[in-house]
Structures are given as C-alpha cells and as structure tokens.
C-alpha cells in the first residue's frame, strides 16, 4: 500500500509539472544578438540555459562573481562607465543602494508593467524607486515560513498538517504557551523556537519601517515586539542557537528544534535524512528575506534583448520549471493557478507548498523599502537580543539602537 501511495504521489507531481511546462517554450529563432549579464547568483546558468531554449540565437555572456566582491565591483564599475554589463543582478540586502541611481534603466519606460501585472505587489515594491518606477525584476520570491519535520511535529504538537499547525501557532501568546509545554515535557531537550530573532523575522514587514522619507521613528509596535521577545527569553523556552549556524541546522534536522523560521530558499535541510518528512506552515504575519533583482544599465545598447530576457523570466512556464528544478517560489501568482490544486511536492511529504506560500505572500504588505529598511531591522534585532540578555530596560535598548543608527546614518532626521 505504501508503495502504491508513493507511486501515486509521484505521478500526480509529474503530471502537474508536465502540464505547466507544456505551455512553453516555443522556440523563437528570429530574435538574435548578444548581451552581457553579471551576477553573484549560482543558479544563474540555469536561467541562461532555459532562456536559450526559447531564444537559441541570443548569446548571453554570463559572468558569476562571488560574495561581497560582487557588490563592490558593481559599485565601482557603474559610475566609471567602463566595462559595464548590459544586465546585472542586485540582492535584496543592498538593492536599495542602487535603486535611485539614474544609471539603472527605468523599466517602466520599457513596458515592464505589461508582463509583471500578475506579480505579488510587494515583490515589485522591493525594486521600486521613490517615484514609483520599477528598476528591477525578480523571477522568484522568498516568503518566510515555519519549516518543520512532520514526524517531530506529530509527536509534540499532535499533527503534521500545515494548516492545523498554522492554527495552533496563531499568535505569540499561543506560541509561548506551546513552547512552555514542549520544554517542560521534554525536560528542556526539545524547543519550539530557536531564538528571539525569529520573532523579528516574522514581524519585520508588518510594522512601519523605522525610516520613512528620511525621518527615523520607532512606532509602538516595535516596543510591543520587545516585550514579546523578553517574555520568551524570561520563560527559558528558547534553544538559543544562532540562526543559520551548524548547531541550529543539526538540531532541526534531528527534531530537537521543531521550527526553523526561514525563507523559502534553503541550504540547511539534510535531504538525505529528511526528504519526504519536511513541511512548511504559514506564520500569522507575512514577511520575506532575500531576493535577486535584475536591472538594466541605462546606457546599454542592448536594452531590447535585456527586456526580452526579463520578460522571459516572468513567464509561468519558466517559473514553474524553476520551482521544479530549484525549489524557487514563483513571483508570478499565475503559477499556482497553472499547477492546480492537486500539485504536490514529494520532498515536502506531498504538500502543496505553493498554496502554503501563497498564503504568506498574499499577507505581505507592499511596503517600498529603502536603503535603511533591512539594515535598521537587523540593528534593532541585534540590540534587542543583546539588551534583553543583559537585562536592559526597553528605553535603554531603544537608545542604544538609535545611537548606532545615528552614527551610521547621520543624515536622518528624528534622531
């Protein structure tokens, strides 16, 4: 019986993916030419190869650079005007350093709205300048979810169903009570959450950013979050493992840390050990972490080819293939519709992870970030974590946070 069920799941998944991919790619040999593309993203060759299946007569000169060197290279190359690529990638952590530059083409003028109309609004907002113009386009999104192991959740929460888990984790009060129960029943060997930073990841994009239009302020919701973080720490229910550390990953893969608060991309699951045993549940607030945006050099002579490339990466067939091969969540909402309600992912125990992530994506506010948004969130999280551990009052934690923001960004008002 188990073999038949497993075979049925594989057949359903294969049919769903085949149906989505059957919509394209129709080869177009009429488009010809070449352009350069710079990136830091190691999956870029996959996109290049898929693009060439549709446009075999377009040569993409792709260069992949590593780590921080890439950001530095872009920052120094763009103003010089020498050897600038036609197309280049920007990461969510620093895209805002570039977005207002006139050296980035206003993609609105190239008609990009025509093929991003089905995108999640917040995904477009991430690469929108102050005038409301789109300056970059992504091919996937990174919504934050509760990652869990099905057998561990069944043991400690009584269910492995993502909808039921979401219902049990309906707010911080409910999560705190469950955390206390699990910690007590396991004699401190099993924890629901890892650290206080998890709370910031869930809440971060549901609260007003610290900086709006060059003015710094701390809305009451951030202070409330401080109180909530303190309640978890004082209760002694956190594993207190550094996020993305080896110990953190090991504890989750072994089932002693029940939830990883993690975006949809993942480098920490031991799939040899847990394939088919993984689930993702929607948190009660929507947020994201990470993202890769493709921008066009304003002085490029290959804008027409770059636009075709960007148009291709927004399509349902490509994003469905990217999901199937690379487990990248689509930015185009129509992919969920194309895959259908019967879509299932074998690695995730047959779960329709598209439906789960769509719930998260639909709840993320389309806040237009700026150069301060993510960094101030990170600084707040740092001072909140350390201050609570050191026994500091909220006022002192906020002051320490503000002092660092002032030192780093003296141009801000309100400090």
pLDDT above 70 covers what percent of the chain? Answer: 94
**Span 11-17, average pLDDT:** 40
Which pLDDT band holds residue 197 (cuts at 50, 70, 90)?
A: very high
Alpha carbon separation from 214 to 89, 97, 221, 372, 413 (Å, rounded): 26, 14, 20, 9, 6
Query: CA 328 from chain center: how many Å?
Result: 10
Residues linked to residue 38 through DSSP beta bridges, in sequence order: 63, 88
The first and second tokens of residue 140, run together, are 């996937």
Contacts of 309 (CB under 8 A, 6+ apart): 35, 37, 51, 58, 60, 87, 294
DSSP conformation letters of 171-192: SHHHHHHHHHHHHHHTTTS-BS
pLDDT above 90 covers what percent of the chain? Answer: 87
Is pLDDT at 14 greater than 90 in this prediction? Answer: no
Angle at which helix 44-54 crosses helix 316-326, to 10 degrees, equals: 140
Q: What confidence tens digit (pLDDT) does each residue in 318-374 have?
A: 999 999 999 899 999 999 999 988 999 999 999 999 999 999 999 999 888 888 999
Q: Round to whole Å and give the CA distance between 51 and 139.
A: 13
The SS3 call for residue 62 is strand
Q: What confidence tens digit (pLDDT) does each residue in 263-315 have?
A: 998 889 999 999 999 999 999 999 999 999 999 999 999 999 999 999 999 99
**Span 27-46, average pLDDT:** 96
Is pLDDT at 18 greater than 60 in this prediction? Answer: no
Is pLDDT at 10 greater than 80 in this prediction? Answer: no
Mean pLDDT of the chain: 92
Q: Judging by beta carbons within 10 Å of its beta carbon (0-12, 13-18, 19+), is residue 300 exposed, middle or buried?
A: middle
The first and second tokens of residue 363, run together, are 């709840």
Which pLDDT band holds residue 219 (cuts at 50, 70, 90)?
A: very high
CB distance 38 to 297 below 8 Å: no
Is pLDDT at 24 greater than 70 in this prediction? Answer: no
Q: What confidence tens digit (pLDDT) does each residue in 76-120 have?
A: 999 999 999 999 999 998 898 899 999 999 999 999 999 999 999
Q: Determine if the peptide bond prior to 308 is cis (ω within 30°).
A: no
Q: What is the pLDDT of residue 341?
A: 87
Q: What is the pLDDT of residue 68?
A: 75
Q: What is the pLDDT of residue 90?
A: 96
Q: Round to whole Å and give the CA distance between 167 and 326.
A: 29
Q: What are phi and psi of 103, to 5 degrees?
A: -80, -10
Q: Which of 129-138, 159-168, 310-319, 366-375 has the lowest mean pLDDT?
A: 366-375
Q: What is the pLDDT of residue 368?
A: 84
Q: How many CB atoms sit inside 10 A of residue 394's CB?
A: 16
Q: How would you classify the pairing of strands 87-91 and 33-39?
A: parallel
**Span 19-24, average pLDDT:** 47
Q: Round to whole Å and give the CA distance between 397 and 207.
A: 18
* H or E segment and range at residue 141: strand 140-141
Residues linked to residue 191 through DSSP beta bridges, in sequence order: 257
CB distance 90 to 98 below 8 Å: yes
Q: What is the pLDDT of residue 207?
A: 95
Q: What confidence tens digit (pLDDT) does each residue in 236-254 have?
A: 999 999 999 999 999 999 9
**Domains located in the chain, CATH noted:** 2-142+289-363 (3.40.190.10), 159-283+370-408 (3.40.190.10)
Which pLDDT band holds residue 230 (cuts at 50, 70, 90)?
A: very high
Is pLDDT at 6 greater than 60 in this prediction? Answer: no
CB burial of 197-232 (b: ≥16 within 10 Å; e: otherwise) equals bbbbbbbbbbbebbbbeeebebeeebeebbebbbeb
Q: What is the pLDDT of residue 26?
A: 93
Q: What is the pLDDT of residue 211?
A: 96
CB distance 329 to 264 below 8 Å: yes
DSSP conformation letters of 17-39: HHHHHTT-PPP--S--EEEEEEE
């Amino acid at each position: 019986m188990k073999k038949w069920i497993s075979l049925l799941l594989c057949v359903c998944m294969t049919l769903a993916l085949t149906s989505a991919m059957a919509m394209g790619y129709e080869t177009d040999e009429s488009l010809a030419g070449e352009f350069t593309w710079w990136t830091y993203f190691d999956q870029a060759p996959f996109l290049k190869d898929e693009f060439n299946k549709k446009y075999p007569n377009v040569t993409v000169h792709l260069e992949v650079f590593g780590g921080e060197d890439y950001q530095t290279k872009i920052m120094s190359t763009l103003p010089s005007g020498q050897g600038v690529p036609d197309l280049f990638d920007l990461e969510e952590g620093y895209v805002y350093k570039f977005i207002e530059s006139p050296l980035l083409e206003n993609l609105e003028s190239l008609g990009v709205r025509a093929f991003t109309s089905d995108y999640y609004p917040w995904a477009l907002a991430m690469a929108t300048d102050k005038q409301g113009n789109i300056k970059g386009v992504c091919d996937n999104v990174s919504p934050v979810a509760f990652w869990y192991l099905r057998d561990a959740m069944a043991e400690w929460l009584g269910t492995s169903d993502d909808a039921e888990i979401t219902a049990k984790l309906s707010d911080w009060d409910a999560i705190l009570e469950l955390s206390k129960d699990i910690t007590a029943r396991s004699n401190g060997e099993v924890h629901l959450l890892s650290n206080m930073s998890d709370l910031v990841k869930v809440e971060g994009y549901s609260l007003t950013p610290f900086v709006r239009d060059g003015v710094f302020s701390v809305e009451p919701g951030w202070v409330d979050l401080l109180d909530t973080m303190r309640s978890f720490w004082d209760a002694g229910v956190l594993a207190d493992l550094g996020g993305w550390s080896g110990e953190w990953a090991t504890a989750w893969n072994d089932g002693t840390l029940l939830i990883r608060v993690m975006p949809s991309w993942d480098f920490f699951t031991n799939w040899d050990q847990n394939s088919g045993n993984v689930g993702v549940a929607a948190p009660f607030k929507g947020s994201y972490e990470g993202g890769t945006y493709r921008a066009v050099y304003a002085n490029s002579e290959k804008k027409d080819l770059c636009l075709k490339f960007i148009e291709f990466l927004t399509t349902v067939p490509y994003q469905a293939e990217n999901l199937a091969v690379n487990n990248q969540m689509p930015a185009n909402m129509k992919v969920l519709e194309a895959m259908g309600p019967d879509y299932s992912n074998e690695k995730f125990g047959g779960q329709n992870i598209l439906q789960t992530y769509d719930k998260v994506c639909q709840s993320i506010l389309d806040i237009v970030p700026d150069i301060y948004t993510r960094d101030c969130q990170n600084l707040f999280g740092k001072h909140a974590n350390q201050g609570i551990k050191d026994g500091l009052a909220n006022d002192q934690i906020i002051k320490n946070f503000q002092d660092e923001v002032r030192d780093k960004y003296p141009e801000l008002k309100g400090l």
